[in-house]
Amino acid sequence: MRPRVMPVELGLTPGRKRLMLIGLSTGVFLASIESTVVSVAMPTVVAELGERSAYIWPIALYMVASTVSGPIWGRLSDVLERKAVYITGLITFTVGMLLCGFAWDMRSLIAFRVLQGIGGGALLVLTFTVIGDVFRVEERGYVTGYTSTVWAVSSASGPLLGGWLTESVGWRWIFLIGVAPGMAAAAIALRAMPRIRGKGNGFDFKGAALFALGTGAFMLLVESEGGWPELTPVLVGLGAAAIALFLLVERRAPNPLIPLGAMTDRYTGTAMAVNLVGGLVFFGTVSVMPAVLQWGLGFDPTTSGLIIVSGTLGWVVAANIASRLVVNHEVAGIIRLGVSLLAGSMALLSLAALQGGLVLIVPALMMLGFGMGMVVPPTLIATQTLASRETLGIVTSMLAFMRVLGGSIGSQLMWFPISASLSAPSTGPSPLAPAIGSFGLGLAVVIPVLLLLRGVTYPDLRAHERSSLAHHGDY
């Protein structure tokens, strides 16, 4: 068994840990809300800055930059000093946010959003990495549940806050309002966060560049939603070539960006597969539900949004439950329950689409959210507990990366059956009939992972951490 990452919390007072958690939660709040707050303001932004054809890019490129940069930040924190890397990412994000508020045209806004996204990748990844460093597994349950709640609430409230700020004080304040909290979070990190030194074996710059180029090309292709159809062959070719070269480089690198051995470990590999599929069905469903509710059932956008939020609420409730259960219960059983709920939600949504009514949709969305809540925190806590300190940053970041990658794939995969039906009137038994294919695809993707989990068992996390601490003389 690999040595468990050693918590450094023994030298921290409860007050210092609470202060640090406030700072980390502030960073998570800012990074997650900035991923959703901008979309509602974009019509106003375009009206002032012009270039309607660039409408999607401040949103898409932020998502690409934050997703692709996450693993790079995570690995940097493994190699260098975790606190310094986190503060650098936080400052990068805050400076980008400030510059967005003073953008003078659409091109400058896009450039500053990319800068902000690069910093945002550090906040979402390193928050949970630092939690894995500092808090023991008994504490990590409630801490992870708390930070997951902050993430969910901020993501859900982003469009509402963005609309209110745009109408009341102007769109620039959707960026400027976060500058002071960002500076406060940096000050808290500087004061409260302990120095967690990396292994200092050198950073894989070549691998990082190829990873960013390859995954960035594919993510841009998905997030652009066909905005550059003439560049599709170029992005596909560039992405494929960069990923192929990346794999070759990683096999020979003395300190690779992504240690392939650690990623293929039974527990880490299982967690990555579960997060990929969970992201695919959850975010894929969220992407198609507005069309299902508005075109299929005739709801207005506000009502549709409130219905969809039921899935997020389910995630929050289940995340807080699962984060505490994972400490004293068998991890694989909790994860299997979560994946089973994901499968059940896809089946229930397929039935709802067949019947053509709302009565099953809300319970199905809540089941979907419960499934994610039972999947994400347990896989994160278990993987961190079993990881070595030398790979904690990259392992944590890859779980988040796989979840977002799955969401990007799912948004396209599950939209395909609906888009294919738009050119002809529906001949199904209900106006929602095309969505049966969408949710059927989701179910088909979940079932193999559910079968994979049948043979997976996890060690007792608390006993494993106790044994590792005793072995290192810290218990």
Q: Supply the pLDDT for residue 464.
A: 60
Question: Tell me, what's the pLDDT at 421?
Answer: 66
Q: What is the mean pLDDT of the chain?
A: 83
Q: Are residues 119 and 179 in the same domain?
A: yes
- Where is pLDDT greater, at 275 or 139? 275
Domain co-membership, 311 together with 249: no
Could you give the number of structural domains in the chain? 3
Asked whether residue 80 falls in the same domain as residue 219, the answer is: no
221 and 188 co-located in one domain: no
Residue 429: pLDDT band by 50, 70, 90 thresholds? Answer: very low
pLDDT score of 423 more than 60? no
* Same domain for 408 and 306: yes
Evaluate if residue 245 carries a pLDDT over 60: yes
Comparing C-alpha atoms, which of 12, 103, 15 is closest to residue 51? Answer: 103
Whether residues 339 and 372 fall in one domain: yes
Q: What integer pLDDT is reported at residue 11 of this predicted model? A: 63
Q: What is the pTM of this model?
A: 0.85
pLDDT tens-place string over residues 327-365: 778 888 999 999 999 999 999 998 888 877 778 889 999
CATH code where residue 291 lies: 1.20.1250.20
- For the stretch 438-460, pLDDT in tens is 899 999 999 999 988 887 887 76
374 Cβ contact partners less than 8 Å away, ≥ 6 residues apart = 318, 321, 322, 334, 335, 337, 338, 341
Same domain as 318, residue 215: no
Secondary structure (DSSP) of 194-216: PP-B---S---HHHHHHHHHHHH
pLDDT band at 195 (very low <50, low <70, confident <90, very high): confident
List b or e across 339-368, with b for residues whose CB sees 16 or more CB atoms inside 10 angstroms.
Answer: bbbbbbbbbbbbebbbeeeeebbbebbbbb
Measured between alpha carbons, how far is 107 from 54 in angstroms, rounded to an integer? 9
Residue 64 has pLDDT above 90, yes or no: no
189 and 128 share a domain? Answer: yes
Q: Is the pLDDT of residue 475 over 50?
A: no
Determine the length of the chain.
475
SS3 annotation, 351-405:
HHHHHCCCCCHHHHHHHHHHHHHHHHHHHHHHHHHHCCHHHHHHHHHHHHHHHHH
Stronger pLDDT, 464 or 44, i.e. the higher one: 44
100 and 1 housed in the same domain: yes
- Residue at 22: amino acid letter: I
User: CB neighbours (10 Å) of residue 50?
Assistant: 11
- Cβ–Cβ < 8 Å for 212, 69: yes
Q: Are residues 241 and 355 in the same domain?
A: no
Are 143 and 25 within one domain? yes
Q: Residue 474: its pLDDT value, please?
A: 46
Q: How far apart are CA 220 and CA 204, in angstroms?
A: 23
Q: pLDDT band for position 463 (50/70/90)?
A: low
DSSP 473: T
User: Using one digit for the tens of pLDDT, what is the confidence trace for 255-273?
Assistant: 888 887 777 778 888 999 9
In this structure, how many other beta carbons lie within 10 angstroms of the beta carbon of residue 78? 28
pLDDT at residue 1, as a whole number: 41
- Contact at 8 Å (CB) between 122 and 89? yes
pLDDT level of residue 54 (50, 70, 90 thresholds): confident
